[in-house]
Amino acid sequence: MLKIGLTGGIGCGKSTVSDLFKQFNVPVIDADVIAHEIVKPHQKGLTAIVATFGESVLFSSGELNRCALKARIFSDESARKQLESVLHPLIFDEIAAQLCSLPKNVPYCIVSIPLLFETQSQRLVDRILVVDCDKKTQYERVQKRDNLSIASIDRILATQVSAEFRRNNANDLVDNSASSGLLAQKVKKLHNFYLSVSFS
């Protein structure tokens, strides 16, 4: 089975591209989805976060206060690294488990890992698909979706590899800028290509 690592900067449209692959019945393993699941109440990830940062990052209901945690990790580099050290192993264990559970006759799957390069996870996949967009579109999308200031977005981007680095290290590249259009057609073309590679 061919494993396609999907990655890209914040706001570039990774989820949109993943959803388009799903329309072709392609299995998608999503690190972001896994990350959300493991920090639900009574899950290992939340237990590890509380052990590391204390109960100040929880709501009174016992659920994770994501805003409080984000404020903490993006203002403190060591806190961000602490969070990654407790969550990343859990996330990658679950990715491995989901890969093992896929049917043997699946030609290829998408493994969406936003921090693919930052976590040096290239070895987990056979090809790397980068979703990219122009900076203006990127900032507009993140501001609209997450209601973040320019300074907050800059801080997030500073923790990630550059767009240029991603482009230079991609096997395949999809431009998802506001003006690029035809995204579904681009994904269909890639789908057919991946099928051909998987059967070759």
CATH of residue 69's domain is: 3.40.50.300
Asked if 133 contacts 12 with a C-beta cutoff of 8 angstroms, the reply is yes
Amino acid at site 87: L
pTM attached to this predicted model:
0.90
pLDDT at 82: 92
The SS3 call for residue 12 is coil
Domain of 16, in residue numbers: 2-199
Number of domain units in the chain = 1
Listed in order, strand segments (DSSP E) in 10-78 are 28-30
Q: What is the pLDDT along the chain (200 residues), one digit of tens a residue?
A: 999 999 999 999 999 999 999 999 999 999 999 999 999 999 999 999 999 999 999 999 999 999 889 888 877 889 989 999 999 999 999 999 999 999 999 999 999 999 999 999 999 999 999 999 999 999 999 988 888 888 888 888 888 899 999 999 999 999 998 666 689 999 999 999 999 999 87
* Residues in CB range of 193: below 8 A, 6 or more apart: 172
What the block records as the tokens of 14 is 């990774």
Asked if 74 contacts 152 with a C-beta cutoff of 8 angstroms, the reply is: yes
